[in-house]
Chain A
């Protein structure tokens, strides 16, 4: 153990003496946060993910269906993902956090609209989210307001139709009168107050379950950024180890009377410490600059360590399959970027094409990202359990990849 500690100390000293590497370690977190601030900050522009809306239609009438159709119209479909469901299903999905908003249209809504009675639409927000429900709520409010204005304009005509007092279509004079009312409404905003439908009943769905209050967008992307930073660092840091192999320094170490694994383990441990330090710095910057709340610090620390070990060992394994650092870098980059995409490092898993979403539960990048999602209490973390098994899976990956890499590197040992 003392020998390992001495080797580790010297490996860490080597890393600290490389000024460029040191700057890169320290710069990566701040660079990543700067990107996030630029993208999601107050002056930034971003394309938001779709707002998931559940619609429970107790009325099932002409106007309630029109509301659903408005939400799913071509113009809004890019921004809203609306699903009409039964009440039980809506409860279940909201409980699982699978939607941002639940809109309930009461029975008799269409009739009440035509009868000019006061109406109410119930809107339930997902308490675990902040931005998405607000966007959905504003749209429903706008649609309700528009509906109220429309009713104010059309009511005399519609009333006549509903009452059955007219057997024929409205006369030209009546149609012009309706037009005039509509223009009047748009010219005089105060006239819209005639509408009584714009009263929305908005409440949070099970507010006692509210877990996070930080910026939702940061929460969506921060875990992926942390994992991505670790991926890049793993690739960069393992290049040093491959150079030690190719330049014969590892081969020389293996001519000494120490177990071959000792020298390599010291190198990988030093790499893991460096990566974890940088990742924790990144997390600190995300917390400080963007208000991210990653969750239990001990669990986050354990997950970061396990992720650094897994990514480092995986990168080392990929490099051990190649003959020089350039080829190793290309191979590791290609495969790690693919794993990063599938694991949700670039785009959160729920936004990935449906057929690849499940893959995240079976790959190290997915374990890292989803583990951080679970720890931050995100509703979109999926139903595949907690962070514990993911930390275990990452640790097992680290051990397996390290053992394989060590075996392959010894087989390809170079003496120069």
Chain B
């Protein structure tokens, strides 16, 4: 299947700082691809390059086969962008915001009226379409925000942290809509620092940190990369530091250690727990709390970076 969006060895530097470092991924029609990483990982910079707002230092981006810098209008005709904040004109009505987007989106004049009417119907704002946006609730603004991005019927949707600060109702609406759009054949790039969003929505996930892609695959593939092991999360005081002094024959792998927390991967966690605790306490540590977990994307991120996603 032809890719709708491809990014190859994309690098973007701002002076000495490298925001994106040889990043590569591709998204097919109907696929939701999640770019998962903490704040400052390079997700928004990647989106800025894809939308043609910021030129790359090196590398290649293609949107439906078009280079956003050589053929910006053709590339942007295939792109719809939704950010984490609702950048709407609050002093205009929903209908006017959509008309404005139609003018920018090169929607043929004869189709504008119908397209606007259809969209306000789809987002459930038909009866309030002529009210100013400033009078809308947060959820209504979210829906309109998404509709504005769809006004020119793009093939690729860029969702930059769309769930941040969203109430559960709007979150459910967005989740459902994104799935529906993918079902209709849109390629979706979703950036997030929330592993739940990535696990719930994405067909494939790329884990990114400091501009580099650390791992990529389906959620199951990524989990499997940790092996069929459980994760013991130990909280307490670990004067030995990172727990690396645990005996090698314990069959435990220390995934990460920070802020009074030790993450250890073991086969059959419930059986291994007592001997792990004894071994840990022999190093002089005092364990206050233990949790047995299934590995998640966050666990993988911790293993890969030594940091949590929220850091």
Contacts and interface: CB of A to CB of B under 8 A. Distances in A.
Interface in A75-133: none
Interface stretch (A247-255, A284-292, A349-357): A247-255
A299 interface: no
Interface residues of chain B: helix, strand, loop or mixed (majority): mixed
Nearest to A250: B87
Contacts of B79: 255, 257
Interface string B77-89: 1011101110111
B165 to A, nearest CB: 11
Interface string A7-41: 10010011001100000000000000000000000
B254 interface: no
Interface string B146-190: 001000100000101000000000000000000000000000000
A255 B81 contact: yes
A249 B76 CA distance: 16
Q: Which of A2, A247, A251, A258 has the most CB of B within 10 A?
A: A258
Nearest to A4: B103
A12 to B, nearest CB: 11
Contacts of B102: 6
Interface in A366-416: 410, 413, 415-416
Interface in B43-94: 44, 47-48, 51-54, 72-74, 76-77, 79-81, 83-85, 87-89, 91-92
B104 A258 contact: yes
A255 B76 contact: yes
A3 interface: yes
Contacts of A199: none
B106 A257 contact: yes
Interface in B94-133: 96, 99-106, 109, 132
Given A7-B104, A13-B96, A256-B152, A248 B85 contact: yes
B85 A416 contact: yes
A6 B103 contact: yes
B87 A416 contact: yes
Nearest to B161: A416
Nearest to B154: A257
Contacts of A255: 51, 53, 76, 79-81, 158
B83 A17 contact: no
A3 B108 CA distance: 10
A185 interface: no
B152 A415 contact: no
A257 B91 contact: no
A17 B96 CA distance: 13
Interface of A: 2-3, 6-7, 10, 13-14, 17-18, 247-249, 251-259, 262-263, 410, 413, 415-416
Given A6-B99, A257-B106, 8 more contacts: A14-B89, A17-B91, A255-B79, A256-B76, A258-B104, A410-B53, A415-B81, A416-B84
Closest 9 CB pairs of A and B: A256-B104, A248-B87, A257-B76, A257-B77, A416-B85, A255-B81, A6-B103, A3-B103, A258-B104
15 contacts: A3-B104, A6-B103, A14-B89, A17-B132, A248-B83, A249-B89, A254-B53, A255-B53, A256-B106, A257-B77, A258-B103, A258-B106, A413-B53, A415-B160, A416-B83
